[in-house]
Amino acid sequence: MWRKLVLMSSLFICSSAMADMRYYVASLDNSLWRVSENSRIECRLEHDIPDYGKAIFSSKAGKRLNMLFTLDMWMKPDEITEAKLFSRAPNWRPGIKSKSLTQLSYHKQFNGELPKKAAWSMLNELSKGMEPTFYYPDWYSQADNVAVGLSSANFGGQYREFRSCLAKLLPYSFDDIAFTVLTYQEGETELTHFSKYQLKKVQEYLSYDPDVELVLIDAFTDSYGPKGVNQTMSDNRADSVKQLLIASGIPQDKIISSGHGEKRHVASNELSQDRERNRRVVIQISKAF
């Protein structure tokens, strides 16, 4: 929608004269919100902005709840641009004052992004029926301005689904399990109690992430006992972990397992705690980003 607005100094810092404003916002009839990702490793809430792009709120599994807002533009900024974000009332709610939320810089050829606190503020304003709106000068004409609004129409139902997804996110991320070391009881094939817990985390995460490309499993022993026995033991440990991951739904062709016996020690074999460090299975995971 194109129109002319007088920008008051309390709303947007510019000249006191009237300026042309290109205003992008979805109408009541075409305001579309959708939860595009709803899993235990990622939640995404998207909103289409006609003729401009889309707004994306996203959160990923992790030890702490995180949130990121991305303004995905069809045409990326052609230069570094300072923008201001206000919460304004939509046209059908006259008389409500606008308020400033934050300001940000658009970097050349990148989408606009806001971190957790600002993203939550936007969601809170949308839930009140307000319209978070970005204001910035046109990249090609400093005399003109652009406003990009997020309509709160049809927001409520999708926001409830998004919050439900957030409550179910795993309490650990890909980085927490991408390099996992499992240790064993001395002279046994039994994992330590902590390693059993770590392996369950790996199994659970991999069962939800379709972007995992490769899982490497490398098993090692300490130097106690015959080398041949240790080699066989490491082969069996590597295969045992592999079978557990396959049983969790990980495709077999994505898993490579190897036993290395007494090779590649990470500690001496003099003390029991050092030997425990050598009796290990290392899981390394890579994925497409």
Q: What is the pTM of this model?
A: 0.83
Residues 150 and 188 in one domain: no
237 phi and psi angles, rounded to 5 deg: -65, -45
- Residue-wise pLDDT for 136-184, tens only, equals 999 888 788 999 999 999 999 999 999 999 999 999 999 999 999 998 8
Q: Which amino acid appears at position 86 of this protein?
A: F
Q: Which of 103, 137, 167 is a domain's end point?
A: 167
Q: What is the pLDDT of residue 188?
A: 62
Asked if residue 31 has pLDDT above 70, the reply is yes
Asked if residue 266 has pLDDT above 50, the reply is yes
Residues 19 and 147 in one domain: yes
Residues 180 and 154 in one domain: no
Q: What is the pLDDT of residue 265?
A: 66
CA dihedral 72, 84, 95, 52 (to 10 degrees): -20
Q: Which of 134, 167, 200 is a domain's end point?
A: 167
Q: What is the CATH number of the domain that holds 229?
A: 3.30.1330.60
pLDDT band at 16 (very low <50, low <70, confident <90, very high): very low
- Residue-wise pLDDT for 39-54, tens only, equals 999 999 999 999 999 9
Mean residue pLDDT of the chain comes to 87
Q: Mean per-residue pLDDT for 98-114?
A: 93
Q: What is the pLDDT of residue 12?
A: 40
Residue 234 buriedness (CB in 10 A; 0-12 / 13-18 / 19+) = buried
Residues 160 and 205 in one domain: no
Angle at 271 between CA 270 and CA 273, to 5 degrees: 140
Q: Which of 133, 167, 201 is a domain's end point?
A: 167
Q: What is the pLDDT of residue 20?
A: 82
Residues 159 and 190 in one domain: no
Residues 96 and 226 in one domain: no
Asked if residue 187 has pLDDT above 70, the reply is no
Residues 156 and 222 in one domain: no
Q: What is the pLDDT of residue 274?
A: 63
Asked if residue 228 has pLDDT above 90, the reply is no
Q: What is the pLDDT of residue 91?
A: 84
Asked if residue 224 has pLDDT above 50, the reply is yes
* 189 vs 106: which has the higher pLDDT: 106
pLDDT band at 269 (very low <50, low <70, confident <90, very high): low
Q: What is the CATH number of the domain that holds 104?
A: 2.60.40.2540
Residues 210 and 192 in one domain: yes
Asked if residue 22 has pLDDT above 70, the reply is yes
Asked if residue 226 has pLDDT above 90, the reply is no
Q: Residue 3 contacts by C-beta under 8 Å, 6 or more apart in sequence?
A: 21, 23
Residues 135 and 217 in one domain: no
Q: How many domains is the chain built from?
A: 2
Q: Residue 275 belongs to what domain range?
A: 174-287
Residues 224 and 264 in one domain: yes
Q: What is the pLDDT of residue 184?
A: 80
Convert 169-205 into a string of H (helix), E (strand) and C (coil): CCCCCHHHHCEEEEEECCCCCCECHHHHHHHHHHHHH
183 phi and psi angles, rounded to 5 deg: -120, 160
Residues 23 and 86 in one domain: yes
Residues 196 and 163 in one domain: no
- At 159, list the tokens: 């926001």
pLDDT band at 5 (very low <50, low <70, confident <90, very high): very low
Share of the chain above pLDDT 90, in %: 63
Q: What is the pLDDT of residue 21?
A: 87
pLDDT band at 270 (very low <50, low <70, confident <90, very high): low
